[in-house]
Structure 1
Amino acid sequence: MDAMTLLTTRYSSARLTEPAPEGEALQLIIKAALQVPDHGGLKPWRFVIVTGKDALNRLGDVFAEAAIEDAPGISAEMHERARQLPLRAPMVIVCIAKVTEHAKVPAHEQVQSAACAVMAMQQAAFAQGFGGIWRTGSYAQQDFVKQSFDLNEDDEIVGFLYLGTAVSQAPNRTEPDPEQFFSYF
């Protein structure tokens, strides 16, 4: 797939199944993450690859515990839903901004660099025929989840990148009118 086709046709796939990227395909996704803009060369990102039933279930346990901490009276149904969230794909990459105090690179730029890494990984997956969706939600902000990944107070979970093979084709989308979003100075 050429770069312009990738950039103009990429879409998020919420319904994912096996196979997930592995081997050379996964290595290319990893390489793409490490090539993003990075002011000061701080490399302010960390990634945790969660794949395989046991690991996905462990992440589900983290989400379930976080759900209880957020809402102690949570229903059994919502508790189980939290536990099942990671099972929506055969692979989840937890994308973390590891923020370092720096005189010339503010924290928000470091988080933006980590966000670029998520986009680059999703693009690299799409270019190789895989599907993916970048999810955030309350679990990205929840203290218990952050502690489960050994994050410092200033670190952020930028998102959970769900990867696998898309179950359905690209949705029909209406192209936005560029004039609504772009102007000349």
Structure 2
Amino acid sequence: MAGRVEAMQAPPADWAAALLQARQTILPKRLGAPGPDAAQLQAIMAAAAHAPDHGCLLPWRFVLVPQEARTALAEAFAQALRERDPEATPAQQEQAREKAYRAPVLLLLVVDELRDDPGIAPCERILSAGCAVQNLLLTATALGFGSALTSGKALQSQALRTLFALQEGERALCFVSVGTVLSRKPGRARPAPAQYVGTLVPGRGVQPWKQERTLA
């Protein structure tokens, strides 16, 4: 509680930076109960709506997978494996099924690459979806939960498309897991801005970014 009060009293730029730096991928197998309650989940999902959205298309959506639907998802994972590998062993199929039962809150992020304005390219829609899910992850972090994005070949399977009733033009991007952190790895070192920022210099292309130092 004291930490939250201190954060509220800190300048917005400081607590925003602290929140960004606190977010860390926690694998679903390291997420357990309790998950967000109804009010917390509402806040987490509402944050997604503040993503940039060219044309206000709302080209993405989230599908909640409640506990009572996990068995169906588990079977879809096993079927997806058989689609890729008809000779998959029972043990391999069971391993695929097990992934459906991790984390108390599980969501599928879906993007529609075709609906409405054809002038808004798929890459813009996917970018909007990425911003939406980052808002979700940051809000979950602010509420004290761990989270992760997971993908894999099963996302492109017919079994998964059928289970989630995906329409033409829709694509499953990733699963989102949220829950209480049971264990975590040490945070990884993040790249410095100079590693991913360049400066355009006419006639010389893109040159390394050199930060100007403020004189004291």
Report the TM-score, using the length of structure 1 for normalisation.
Answer: 0.92
Q: Say which of 6, 9, 18 aligns to 1:5.
A: 18
Aligned-partner SS, 1:184: strand
- The structure having more radius of gyration, on CA atoms, is 2
- Inter-CA distance 90–18: structure 2 relative to 1 (3 Å threshold): same
Q: Which amino acid aligns with 2:26?
A: S
CA RMSD of superposed structures (Å) = 1.6
Q: Say which of 118, 121, 131 aligns to 1:103.
A: 118
- Inter-CA distance 51–149: structure 2 relative to 1 (3 Å threshold): same
Q: Which amino acid aligns with 2:188?
A: R
Identify the residue that residue 157 of structure 2 maps to in structure 1: 142
Provide Cα deviations, 1:119-140, integer angstroms capped at 9, x if missing partner.
2211111110001100011122
Where structure 2 has 5 or more consecutive residues not aligned to the other structure, the ranges are 1-6, 8-14, 201-216
Q: Say which of 178, 182, 185 aligns to 2:197.
A: 182
Identify the residue that residue 137 of structure 2 maps to in structure 1: 122
Q: Say which of 53, 57, 60 aligns to 1:42.
A: 57
Distance in 2 between the 1:39 and 1:57 partners?
37
Where structure 1 has 5 or more consecutive residues not aligned to the other structure, the ranges are none
Q: Which amino acid aligns with 1:78?
A: Q
Q: Which amino acid aligns with 1:48?
A: V
Q: Is the 8 A contact 1:111 1:156 kept in 2?
A: no
Aligned-partner SS, 1:174: coil
Distance in 2 between the 1:178 and 1:113 partners?
23
Provide Cα deviations, 1:44-96, integer angstroms capped at 9, x if missing partner.
112111122x2222211211111111211101111001111021211110110
Identify the residue that residue 18 of structure 1 maps to in structure 2: 33
Aligned-partner SS, 1:66: helix
- Inter-CA distance 169–65: structure 2 relative to 1 (3 Å threshold): closer
Aligned-partner SS, 1:46: strand
Q: Is the 8 A contact 2:24 2:187 kept in 1?
A: no
**TM-fit CA distance, 1:9:** 2.3
Q: Is the 8 A contact 2:137 2:147 kept in 1?
A: yes
Q: Which amino acid aligns with 2:189?
A: T
Provide Cα deviations, 1:150-183, integer angstroms capped at 9, x if missing partner.
1123211111001111112462322323222222
Identity %: 34
Report the TM-score, using the length of structure 2 for normalisation.
Answer: 0.79
Q: Is the 8 A contact 2:22 2:141 kept in 1?
A: no
Identify the residue that residue 75 of structure 2 maps to in structure 1: 61
